[in-house]
Structure 1
Protein backbone atom coordinates (compact mmCIF):
# COMPACT_ATOMS: atom_id res chain seq x y z
CA UNK A 1 0.00 0.00 0.00
CA UNK A 2 1.61 3.26 -1.17
CA UNK A 3 0.51 5.96 1.27
CA UNK A 4 2.55 8.58 -0.61
CA UNK A 5 -0.16 8.71 -3.28
CA UNK A 6 -3.09 9.29 -0.92
CA UNK A 7 -4.99 12.57 -0.88
CA UNK A 8 -5.27 13.62 2.77
CA UNK A 9 -7.43 16.43 4.15
CA UNK A 10 -7.09 17.79 7.68
CA UNK A 11 -10.06 19.62 9.16
CA UNK A 12 -8.54 22.06 11.65
CA UNK A 13 -4.97 23.33 11.68
CA UNK A 14 -3.86 23.43 15.32
CA UNK A 15 -0.81 21.93 17.04
CA UNK A 16 -1.75 18.29 16.52
CA UNK A 17 -2.50 18.87 12.85
CA UNK A 18 0.84 20.60 12.36
CA UNK A 19 2.68 17.79 14.12
CA UNK A 20 1.02 15.15 11.94
CA UNK A 21 1.49 17.11 8.72
CA UNK A 22 5.19 17.69 9.40
CA UNK A 23 5.58 14.05 10.38
CA UNK A 24 3.84 12.75 7.26
CA UNK A 25 6.00 14.96 5.03
CA UNK A 26 9.35 14.54 6.79
CA UNK A 27 9.10 10.90 7.81
CA UNK A 28 6.32 9.39 5.71
CA UNK A 29 7.43 10.61 2.31
CA UNK A 30 4.02 12.08 1.55
CA UNK A 31 4.01 14.79 -1.11
CA UNK A 32 2.91 18.11 0.48
CA UNK A 33 0.80 18.76 -2.61
CA UNK A 34 -1.36 15.78 -1.66
CA UNK A 35 -2.17 17.28 1.75
CA UNK A 36 -4.92 19.85 2.30
CA UNK A 37 -5.44 21.69 5.58
CA UNK A 38 -8.78 23.42 6.10
CA UNK A 39 -8.92 26.08 8.81
CA UNK A 40 -11.54 28.61 9.91
CA UNK A 41 -9.12 31.56 9.68
CA UNK A 42 -5.77 32.65 8.24
CA UNK A 43 -4.05 32.48 11.63
CA UNK A 44 -1.96 29.44 10.66
CA UNK A 45 -1.58 30.39 7.00
CA UNK A 46 2.17 31.05 7.20
CA UNK A 47 2.80 27.69 8.85
CA UNK A 48 1.13 25.71 6.08
CA UNK A 49 2.51 27.96 3.35
CA UNK A 50 5.99 27.11 4.62
CA UNK A 51 5.11 23.41 4.46
CA UNK A 52 3.84 23.88 0.87
CA UNK A 53 0.56 22.07 1.51
CA UNK A 54 -2.81 23.20 0.18
CA UNK A 55 -4.40 25.60 2.66
CA UNK A 56 -8.14 26.28 2.51
CA UNK A 57 -9.80 28.92 4.70
CA UNK A 58 -13.46 28.73 5.66
CA UNK A 59 -14.51 26.04 3.18
CA UNK A 60 -14.44 22.55 4.65
CA UNK A 61 -16.75 21.24 1.96
CA UNK A 62 -14.45 21.95 -0.96
CA UNK A 63 -11.40 20.78 0.99
CA UNK A 64 -12.65 17.19 1.29
CA UNK A 65 -13.52 16.71 -2.38
CA UNK A 66 -11.37 13.91 -3.77
CA UNK A 67 -9.87 13.06 -0.37
CA UNK A 68 -8.90 9.45 0.34
CA UNK A 69 -8.50 10.21 4.04
CA UNK A 70 -10.22 12.93 6.09
CA UNK A 71 -8.70 13.69 9.49
CA UNK A 72 -10.70 15.65 12.07
CA UNK A 73 -8.31 17.84 14.08
CA UNK A 74 -10.93 20.26 15.40
CA UNK A 75 -12.06 20.75 19.00
CA UNK A 76 -14.61 18.13 20.10
CA UNK A 77 -17.47 20.64 20.28
CA UNK A 78 -16.95 21.39 16.57
CA UNK A 79 -17.61 17.84 15.38
CA UNK A 80 -21.28 18.40 14.58
CA UNK A 81 -21.10 21.73 12.69
CA UNK A 82 -18.04 20.62 10.72
CA UNK A 83 -19.72 17.32 9.82
CA UNK A 84 -22.82 19.13 8.61
CA UNK A 85 -20.63 21.00 6.13
CA UNK A 86 -19.07 17.90 4.60
CA UNK A 87 -21.86 15.32 4.93
CA UNK A 88 -22.95 15.39 1.31
CA UNK A 89 -19.40 14.89 0.02
CA UNK A 90 -18.53 12.08 2.45
CA UNK A 91 -21.71 10.10 1.91
CA UNK A 92 -21.91 10.48 -1.86
CA UNK A 93 -18.36 10.42 -3.21
CA UNK A 94 -15.19 8.42 -2.89
CA UNK A 95 -15.82 6.41 0.30
CA UNK A 96 -12.97 8.13 2.22
CA UNK A 97 -11.56 6.80 5.48
CA UNK A 98 -12.60 9.30 8.16
CA UNK A 99 -10.21 9.56 11.11
CA UNK A 100 -10.88 11.45 14.32
CA UNK A 101 -8.12 12.69 16.64
CA UNK A 102 -10.67 14.54 18.77
CA UNK A 103 -10.43 13.71 22.47
CA UNK A 104 -13.51 11.97 23.79
CA UNK A 105 -15.44 11.77 20.50
CA UNK A 106 -16.48 8.15 19.96
CA UNK A 107 -16.73 6.36 16.64
CA UNK A 108 -20.50 6.09 17.16
CA UNK A 109 -20.74 9.86 17.65
CA UNK A 110 -18.66 10.57 14.56
CA UNK A 111 -20.68 8.11 12.49
CA UNK A 112 -23.93 9.60 13.78
CA UNK A 113 -23.07 13.20 12.83
CA UNK A 114 -22.02 11.89 9.42
CA UNK A 115 -25.50 10.43 8.88
CA UNK A 116 -24.46 6.89 9.73
CA UNK A 117 -21.29 6.80 7.62
CA UNK A 118 -19.37 3.73 8.73
CA UNK A 119 -15.76 3.89 7.49
CA UNK A 120 -14.44 5.69 10.56
CA UNK A 121 -11.43 5.32 12.83
CA UNK A 122 -10.47 6.93 16.10
CA UNK A 123 -6.84 7.85 16.66
CA UNK A 124 -4.96 9.46 19.52
CA UNK A 125 -1.49 10.63 18.43
CA UNK A 126 0.77 13.00 20.33
CA UNK A 127 2.94 15.99 19.50
CA UNK A 128 6.30 14.14 19.28
CA UNK A 129 4.86 12.92 15.97
CA UNK A 130 6.45 16.15 14.75
CA UNK A 131 9.90 14.54 15.00
CA UNK A 132 8.86 11.01 14.02
CA UNK A 133 8.79 9.88 17.66
CA UNK A 134 5.07 9.87 18.31
CA UNK A 135 2.98 7.30 20.18
CA UNK A 136 -0.43 6.60 18.64
CA UNK A 137 -3.31 4.42 19.72
CA UNK A 138 -6.17 3.67 17.32
CA UNK A 139 -9.49 1.85 17.05
CA UNK A 140 -11.60 1.01 14.00
CA UNK A 141 -15.32 0.99 13.39
CA UNK A 142 -16.75 -2.52 12.87
CA UNK A 143 -17.83 -1.22 9.46
CA UNK A 144 -14.26 -0.57 8.32
CA UNK A 145 -12.76 -2.68 5.55
CA UNK A 146 -10.23 -5.38 6.42
CA UNK A 147 -7.48 -3.28 4.86
CA UNK A 148 -8.26 -0.12 6.85
CA UNK A 149 -6.24 -1.24 9.87
CA UNK A 150 -3.23 -1.78 7.63
CA UNK A 151 -3.77 1.67 6.11
CA UNK A 152 -4.00 3.40 9.49
CA UNK A 153 -0.92 1.58 10.80
CA UNK A 154 1.15 2.36 7.73
CA UNK A 155 0.15 6.03 7.85
CA UNK A 156 0.76 6.46 11.57
CA UNK A 157 3.95 4.39 11.68
CA UNK A 158 5.52 7.16 9.63
CA UNK A 159 5.25 9.39 12.71
CA UNK A 160 5.96 6.94 15.52
CA UNK A 161 4.86 3.82 17.39
CA UNK A 162 1.31 2.59 16.67
CA UNK A 163 -0.84 0.36 18.88
CA UNK A 164 -4.35 -0.93 18.15
CA UNK A 165 -6.63 -0.95 21.19
CA UNK A 166 -10.30 -1.51 21.95
CA UNK A 167 -12.19 1.73 21.47
CA UNK A 168 -13.19 1.91 25.14
CA UNK A 169 -9.47 2.27 25.93
CA UNK A 170 -8.77 5.21 23.62
CA UNK A 171 -9.51 7.63 26.48
CA UNK A 172 -6.84 5.80 28.49
CA UNK A 173 -4.43 6.23 25.57
CA UNK A 174 -5.26 9.94 25.74
CA UNK A 175 -4.32 9.99 29.41
CA UNK A 176 -1.06 8.08 28.96
CA UNK A 177 0.49 9.07 25.63
CA UNK A 178 -1.77 11.80 24.26
CA UNK A 179 -1.20 14.00 27.30
CA UNK A 180 2.00 12.23 28.36
CA UNK A 181 4.52 14.51 26.64
CA UNK A 182 3.43 17.36 28.91
CA UNK A 183 4.09 15.26 32.02
CA UNK A 184 7.53 14.33 30.70
CA UNK A 185 8.32 17.96 29.86
CA UNK A 186 7.44 18.87 33.43
CA UNK A 187 9.78 16.16 34.71
CA UNK A 188 12.62 17.27 32.43
CA UNK A 189 12.05 20.87 33.51
CA UNK A 190 12.11 19.86 37.18
CA UNK A 191 15.23 17.72 36.70
CA UNK A 192 16.94 20.62 34.97
CA UNK A 193 15.89 23.04 37.71
CA UNK A 194 17.26 20.63 40.30
CA UNK A 195 20.61 20.69 38.53
CA UNK A 196 20.64 24.49 38.67
CA UNK A 197 19.79 24.42 42.38
CA UNK A 198 22.79 22.17 42.83
CA UNK A 199 25.23 24.35 40.90
CA UNK A 200 24.97 23.48 37.21
CA UNK A 201 24.42 26.21 34.63
CA UNK A 202 20.97 26.05 33.05
CA UNK A 203 22.03 25.06 29.53
CA UNK A 204 24.16 22.18 30.78
CA UNK A 205 21.51 20.99 33.21
CA UNK A 206 18.78 21.12 30.56
CA UNK A 207 20.87 19.12 28.09
CA UNK A 208 21.78 16.49 30.69
CA UNK A 209 18.18 16.18 31.89
CA UNK A 210 16.71 15.80 28.40
CA UNK A 211 19.35 13.28 27.31
CA UNK A 212 18.87 11.28 30.50
CA UNK A 213 15.14 10.91 29.83
CA UNK A 214 15.80 10.08 26.17
CA UNK A 215 18.42 7.48 27.08
CA UNK A 216 16.28 5.87 29.78
CA UNK A 217 13.33 5.64 27.38
CA UNK A 218 15.57 4.06 24.76
CA UNK A 219 16.76 1.48 27.31
CA UNK A 220 13.13 0.57 28.04
CA UNK A 221 12.21 0.27 24.37
CA UNK A 222 15.28 -1.78 23.47
CA UNK A 223 14.82 -4.19 26.38
CA UNK A 224 11.13 -5.19 26.19
CA UNK A 225 11.68 -8.39 28.19
CA UNK A 226 13.33 -6.61 31.11
CA UNK A 227 10.99 -5.24 33.77
CA UNK A 228 11.35 -1.49 34.17
CA UNK A 229 11.89 -1.97 37.90
CA UNK A 230 14.94 -4.11 37.06
CA UNK A 231 16.38 -1.35 34.89
CA UNK A 232 15.90 1.02 37.83
CA UNK A 233 17.46 -1.46 40.26
CA UNK A 234 20.48 -1.73 37.98
CA UNK A 235 21.23 1.94 38.69
CA UNK A 236 20.60 1.72 42.44
CA UNK A 237 23.69 0.63 44.38
CA UNK A 238 23.11 -0.30 48.05
CA UNK A 239 23.26 2.82 50.23
CA UNK A 240 24.24 4.82 47.14
CA UNK A 241 23.29 8.18 45.68
CA UNK A 242 20.60 6.90 43.32
CA UNK A 243 18.62 4.93 45.88
CA UNK A 244 18.70 7.99 48.14
CA UNK A 245 17.03 9.92 45.32
CA UNK A 246 14.51 7.25 44.28
CA UNK A 247 13.46 6.57 47.88
CA UNK A 248 12.77 10.30 48.23
CA UNK A 249 10.62 10.22 45.08
CA UNK A 250 8.67 7.28 46.52
CA UNK A 251 8.25 9.00 49.88
CA UNK A 252 7.01 12.19 48.20
CA UNK A 253 4.47 10.24 46.14
CA UNK A 254 5.78 10.56 42.57
CA UNK A 255 4.24 7.26 41.45
CA UNK A 256 0.81 7.99 42.95
CA UNK A 257 0.86 11.54 41.56
CA UNK A 258 1.54 10.32 38.02
CA UNK A 259 -1.25 7.74 38.26
CA UNK A 260 -3.65 10.44 39.48
CA UNK A 261 -2.63 12.75 36.62
CA UNK A 262 -3.20 10.08 33.96
CA UNK A 263 -6.55 9.14 35.52
CA UNK A 264 -7.60 12.81 35.60
CA UNK A 265 -6.74 13.23 31.91
CA UNK A 266 -8.56 10.00 31.05
CA UNK A 267 -11.64 11.10 32.98
CA UNK A 268 -11.56 14.47 31.22
CA UNK A 269 -11.51 12.73 27.83
CA UNK A 270 -14.54 10.67 28.87
CA UNK A 271 -16.29 13.84 30.05
CA UNK A 272 -15.65 15.52 26.69
CA UNK A 273 -17.15 12.50 24.97
CA UNK A 274 -20.35 12.73 26.99
CA UNK A 275 -20.81 16.40 26.08
CA UNK A 276 -20.79 15.76 22.32
Structure 2
Protein backbone atom coordinates (compact mmCIF):
# COMPACT_ATOMS: atom_id res chain seq x y z
CA UNK A 1 0.00 0.00 0.00
CA UNK A 2 2.75 2.45 0.97
CA UNK A 3 4.44 2.41 -2.42
CA UNK A 4 1.33 3.98 -3.97
CA UNK A 5 1.35 6.93 -1.56
CA UNK A 6 2.83 10.37 -2.20
CA UNK A 7 4.83 11.66 0.74
CA UNK A 8 5.76 15.26 1.53
CA UNK A 9 8.36 16.17 4.15
CA UNK A 10 8.03 19.57 5.76
CA UNK A 11 11.60 20.09 6.84
CA UNK A 12 14.78 18.94 5.15
CA UNK A 13 17.18 18.38 8.04
CA UNK A 14 19.07 15.29 9.15
CA UNK A 15 16.03 13.36 10.39
CA UNK A 16 14.07 14.03 7.21
CA UNK A 17 17.06 12.90 5.16
CA UNK A 18 17.48 9.75 7.24
CA UNK A 19 13.83 8.83 6.64
CA UNK A 20 14.03 9.71 2.94
CA UNK A 21 17.11 7.53 2.53
CA UNK A 22 15.47 4.62 4.32
CA UNK A 23 12.26 4.88 2.30
CA UNK A 24 14.10 4.95 -1.01
CA UNK A 25 16.95 2.52 -0.38
CA UNK A 26 15.31 0.07 2.03
CA UNK A 27 11.61 0.24 1.18
CA UNK A 28 11.96 0.83 -2.55
CA UNK A 29 9.76 3.92 -2.58
CA UNK A 30 10.16 5.71 -5.89
CA UNK A 31 11.86 9.11 -5.49
CA UNK A 32 9.20 10.71 -7.68
CA UNK A 33 6.69 10.08 -4.87
CA UNK A 34 8.70 12.07 -2.32
CA UNK A 35 8.84 15.85 -1.88
CA UNK A 36 10.90 17.72 0.70
CA UNK A 37 10.23 21.37 1.50
CA UNK A 38 12.03 23.89 3.68
CA UNK A 39 11.83 27.62 4.10
CA UNK A 40 14.91 29.31 2.65
CA UNK A 41 17.87 26.93 2.40
CA UNK A 42 18.15 26.42 -1.35
CA UNK A 43 21.55 24.76 -1.04
CA UNK A 44 20.08 22.07 1.18
CA UNK A 45 17.25 21.46 -1.29
CA UNK A 46 19.75 21.22 -4.13
CA UNK A 47 21.80 18.73 -2.11
CA UNK A 48 18.81 16.45 -1.45
CA UNK A 49 17.64 16.60 -5.06
CA UNK A 50 21.08 15.61 -6.33
CA UNK A 51 21.57 12.87 -3.75
CA UNK A 52 18.13 11.21 -3.84
CA UNK A 53 16.54 12.48 -7.07
CA UNK A 54 13.50 13.70 -5.13
CA UNK A 55 11.54 16.90 -5.74
CA UNK A 56 12.32 19.79 -3.41
CA UNK A 57 10.71 23.18 -2.99
CA UNK A 58 10.17 25.99 -0.53
CA UNK A 59 7.31 25.76 1.96
CA UNK A 60 5.85 28.92 0.46
CA UNK A 61 5.64 27.37 -3.03
CA UNK A 62 4.55 23.92 -1.86
CA UNK A 63 1.32 22.37 -3.15
CA UNK A 64 -0.29 19.61 -1.07
CA UNK A 65 -3.04 18.68 -3.54
CA UNK A 66 -1.29 15.49 -4.74
CA UNK A 67 0.09 14.51 -1.34
CA UNK A 68 -1.33 11.72 0.83
CA UNK A 69 1.09 11.76 3.76
CA UNK A 70 2.58 14.89 5.31
CA UNK A 71 5.60 14.36 7.55
CA UNK A 72 6.37 17.26 9.88
CA UNK A 73 10.13 17.24 10.45
CA UNK A 74 10.96 20.82 11.43
CA UNK A 75 12.38 22.10 14.71
CA UNK A 76 9.79 22.24 17.51
CA UNK A 77 10.11 26.02 17.74
CA UNK A 78 8.95 26.26 14.11
CA UNK A 79 5.88 24.10 14.66
CA UNK A 80 3.25 26.79 15.14
CA UNK A 81 4.45 28.93 12.23
CA UNK A 82 4.64 25.96 9.85
CA UNK A 83 1.25 24.59 10.89
CA UNK A 84 -0.35 28.01 10.39
CA UNK A 85 1.15 28.13 6.90
CA UNK A 86 -0.06 24.64 6.01
CA UNK A 87 -3.55 24.93 7.48
CA UNK A 88 -5.31 26.52 4.44
CA UNK A 89 -3.92 23.81 2.14
CA UNK A 90 -4.86 20.80 4.27
CA UNK A 91 -7.46 18.44 2.81
CA UNK A 92 -9.65 15.68 4.21
CA UNK A 93 -7.55 12.87 2.72
CA UNK A 94 -4.31 14.00 4.36
CA UNK A 95 -2.62 11.95 7.06
CA UNK A 96 -0.09 13.89 9.16
CA UNK A 97 2.91 12.22 10.75
CA UNK A 98 4.78 14.37 13.24
CA UNK A 99 8.45 13.89 14.07
CA UNK A 100 8.36 17.01 16.28
CA UNK A 101 10.07 16.14 19.56
CA UNK A 102 7.92 17.01 22.56
CA UNK A 103 5.01 18.41 20.55
CA UNK A 104 1.70 16.66 21.32
CA UNK A 105 -0.92 15.52 18.85
CA UNK A 106 -3.54 17.66 20.65
CA UNK A 107 -1.43 20.79 20.06
CA UNK A 108 -1.21 20.06 16.34
CA UNK A 109 -4.95 19.35 16.19
CA UNK A 110 -5.65 22.67 17.89
CA UNK A 111 -3.46 24.68 15.51
CA UNK A 112 -4.76 23.15 12.27
CA UNK A 113 -8.36 23.18 13.55
CA UNK A 114 -9.26 20.19 11.36
CA UNK A 115 -10.37 16.65 12.19
CA UNK A 116 -7.36 15.12 10.49
CA UNK A 117 -5.45 12.07 11.71
CA UNK A 118 -2.23 13.03 13.51
CA UNK A 119 0.29 10.31 14.35
CA UNK A 120 3.37 11.13 16.39
CA UNK A 121 6.38 9.27 15.04
CA UNK A 122 9.75 9.14 16.77
CA UNK A 123 12.39 7.40 14.64
CA UNK A 124 16.12 7.82 15.02
CA UNK A 125 18.85 8.52 12.50
CA UNK A 126 19.51 4.79 12.00
CA UNK A 127 16.48 4.98 9.68
CA UNK A 128 19.04 5.98 7.04
CA UNK A 129 20.16 2.34 6.90
CA UNK A 130 16.77 0.81 7.69
CA UNK A 131 17.66 0.08 11.32
CA UNK A 132 15.60 2.61 13.28
CA UNK A 133 13.43 1.74 16.24
CA UNK A 134 10.40 3.98 15.84
CA UNK A 135 7.75 4.76 18.44
CA UNK A 136 4.32 5.80 17.21
CA UNK A 137 1.22 7.03 19.03
CA UNK A 138 -2.17 8.07 17.71
CA UNK A 139 -4.02 11.36 17.97
CA UNK A 140 -7.73 11.89 18.51
CA UNK A 141 -8.88 11.40 14.92
CA UNK A 142 -6.65 8.49 13.93
CA UNK A 143 -8.45 5.45 12.51
CA UNK A 144 -7.07 1.93 12.29
CA UNK A 145 -6.12 2.39 8.65
CA UNK A 146 -4.19 5.57 9.50
CA UNK A 147 -2.26 3.78 12.23
CA UNK A 148 -1.61 0.90 9.82
CA UNK A 149 -0.20 3.38 7.33
CA UNK A 150 2.07 4.93 9.96
CA UNK A 151 3.29 1.48 10.95
CA UNK A 152 3.89 0.48 7.35
CA UNK A 153 5.90 3.61 6.66
CA UNK A 154 7.88 3.20 9.88
CA UNK A 155 8.61 -0.47 9.19
CA UNK A 156 10.23 0.66 5.97
CA UNK A 157 13.00 2.26 8.04
CA UNK A 158 13.30 -0.30 10.85
CA UNK A 159 11.29 -1.75 13.73
CA UNK A 160 8.16 -0.19 15.21
CA UNK A 161 6.63 0.01 18.67
CA UNK A 162 3.12 1.40 19.32
CA UNK A 163 3.16 3.31 22.60
CA UNK A 164 0.98 5.78 24.46
CA UNK A 165 1.64 9.49 24.15
CA UNK A 166 2.61 9.59 27.84
CA UNK A 167 5.46 7.19 27.05
CA UNK A 168 6.80 9.22 24.14
CA UNK A 169 9.15 11.39 26.23
CA UNK A 170 11.09 8.49 27.72
CA UNK A 171 11.04 6.74 24.34
CA UNK A 172 12.65 9.87 22.91
CA UNK A 173 15.25 9.81 25.68
CA UNK A 174 16.19 6.22 24.84
CA UNK A 175 15.63 5.71 21.13
CA UNK A 176 15.49 9.20 19.67
CA UNK A 177 18.64 10.42 21.42
CA UNK A 178 20.19 7.00 22.08
CA UNK A 179 22.36 6.71 18.96
CA UNK A 180 24.34 9.74 20.13
CA UNK A 181 25.04 8.04 23.47
CA UNK A 182 26.47 5.01 21.70
CA UNK A 183 28.51 7.18 19.32
CA UNK A 184 29.89 8.97 22.36
CA UNK A 185 30.82 5.63 23.93
CA UNK A 186 32.50 4.43 20.74
CA UNK A 187 34.32 7.74 20.40
CA UNK A 188 35.92 7.29 23.83
CA UNK A 189 36.73 3.62 23.25
CA UNK A 190 38.39 4.59 20.00
CA UNK A 191 40.41 7.36 21.66
CA UNK A 192 41.77 5.16 24.46
CA UNK A 193 42.65 2.45 21.94
CA UNK A 194 44.67 4.94 19.88
CA UNK A 195 46.40 6.18 23.03
CA UNK A 196 47.46 2.60 23.65
CA UNK A 197 48.92 1.99 20.22
CA UNK A 198 46.07 0.88 17.95
CA UNK A 199 45.41 2.44 14.56
CA UNK A 200 42.26 4.61 14.73
CA UNK A 201 40.46 2.84 11.90
CA UNK A 202 41.25 -0.56 13.39
CA UNK A 203 40.11 0.64 16.83
CA UNK A 204 36.85 1.90 15.32
CA UNK A 205 36.14 -1.42 13.64
CA UNK A 206 36.86 -3.34 16.84
CA UNK A 207 34.68 -1.13 19.03
CA UNK A 208 31.79 -0.93 16.55
CA UNK A 209 31.72 -4.69 15.93
CA UNK A 210 31.83 -5.32 19.68
CA UNK A 211 28.82 -3.06 20.21
CA UNK A 212 27.00 -4.62 17.27
CA UNK A 213 27.66 -8.14 18.52
CA UNK A 214 26.54 -7.30 22.06
CA UNK A 215 23.33 -5.72 20.73
CA UNK A 216 22.63 -8.75 18.58
CA UNK A 217 23.16 -11.04 21.59
CA UNK A 218 20.56 -9.09 23.55
CA UNK A 219 18.06 -9.26 20.70
CA UNK A 220 18.55 -12.96 19.98
CA UNK A 221 18.98 -14.28 23.52
CA UNK A 222 16.33 -15.02 26.13
CA UNK A 223 18.69 -13.66 28.78
CA UNK A 224 18.38 -10.12 30.11
CA UNK A 225 21.27 -7.67 29.65
CA UNK A 226 22.11 -8.13 33.33
CA UNK A 227 22.27 -11.93 32.90
CA UNK A 228 24.43 -11.62 29.78
CA UNK A 229 26.76 -9.27 31.63
CA UNK A 230 27.17 -11.74 34.50
CA UNK A 231 27.92 -14.59 32.07
CA UNK A 232 30.91 -12.75 30.59
CA UNK A 233 32.24 -11.47 33.91
CA UNK A 234 34.70 -13.85 35.57
CA UNK A 235 35.66 -13.06 39.18
CA UNK A 236 38.85 -10.99 39.30
CA UNK A 237 39.06 -11.06 35.51
CA UNK A 238 39.57 -8.28 32.95
CA UNK A 239 35.86 -7.66 32.44
CA UNK A 240 35.28 -7.42 36.18
CA UNK A 241 38.07 -4.85 36.40
CA UNK A 242 36.52 -2.79 33.63
CA UNK A 243 33.06 -2.94 35.18
CA UNK A 244 34.49 -1.89 38.55
CA UNK A 245 36.03 1.18 36.88
CA UNK A 246 32.70 2.00 35.27
CA UNK A 247 30.91 1.78 38.62
CA UNK A 248 33.58 3.79 40.45
CA UNK A 249 33.39 6.55 37.85
CA UNK A 250 29.60 6.71 37.70
CA UNK A 251 29.14 4.98 34.35
CA UNK A 252 25.72 3.54 35.14
CA UNK A 253 24.46 6.75 36.71
CA UNK A 254 25.69 8.74 33.70
CA UNK A 255 23.68 6.55 31.31
CA UNK A 256 20.55 6.85 33.45
CA UNK A 257 20.95 10.62 33.68
CA UNK A 258 21.40 10.92 29.91
CA UNK A 259 18.07 9.22 29.30
CA UNK A 260 16.33 11.14 32.10
CA UNK A 261 17.61 14.52 30.92
CA UNK A 262 16.66 13.87 27.29
CA UNK A 263 13.17 12.78 28.38
CA UNK A 264 12.89 15.85 30.61
CA UNK A 265 13.88 18.08 27.71
CA UNK A 266 11.21 16.45 25.56
CA UNK A 267 8.63 17.26 28.23
CA UNK A 268 9.87 20.83 28.61
CA UNK A 269 9.42 21.46 24.88
CA UNK A 270 5.67 21.29 25.43
CA UNK A 271 5.88 23.95 28.10
CA UNK A 272 8.18 26.07 25.94
CA UNK A 273 6.30 25.88 22.66
CA UNK A 274 2.78 24.75 23.50
CA UNK A 275 2.51 27.09 26.48
CA UNK A 276 0.85 24.43 28.63
CA UNK A 277 1.86 23.04 32.04
CA UNK A 278 4.22 20.07 31.99
CA UNK A 279 2.86 17.14 33.98
TM-score greater than 0.5 by the shorter chain: yes
Q: After TM superposition, list the pairs within 5 Å mapping 1:189-268 onto structure 2.
A: 189-223=187-221, 225-268=222-265
- Quote the Cα distance in structure 2 between the aligned partners of 1:7 and 1:190: 42
Shift of 1:60: 5.8
Residues 66, 94 of structure 1: 8 Å contact kept:
no
Matches within 5 A, 1:1-276: 2-41=1-40, 42-49=42-49, 50-59=51-60, 61-62=62-63, 64-90=64-90, 93-223=91-221, 225-276=222-273
Unaligned runs of 5+ in 2: 274-279
Please give the alpha-carbon distance, in whole angstroms, between the structure 1 residues aligned to 2:24 and 2:166. Answer: 31
Q: How much does 1:85 deviate?
A: 1.6
Which whole-Å CA distance do the structure 2 matches of 1:71 and 1:58 have between them?
A: 13
Contact 2:135/2:160, CA 8 A, preserved across alignment? yes
Question: Helix, strand or coil: the match of 1:155?
Answer: helix
TM norm structure 2? 0.94
Aligned equivalents of 1:60 and 1:186: distance in 2? 40
Runs of 4+ in 1 over 2 A off after TM superposition: 58-61
CA RMSD of aligned residues (A): 1.3
Aligned length: 271
> Structure 1: which 5+ runs fail to align?
none
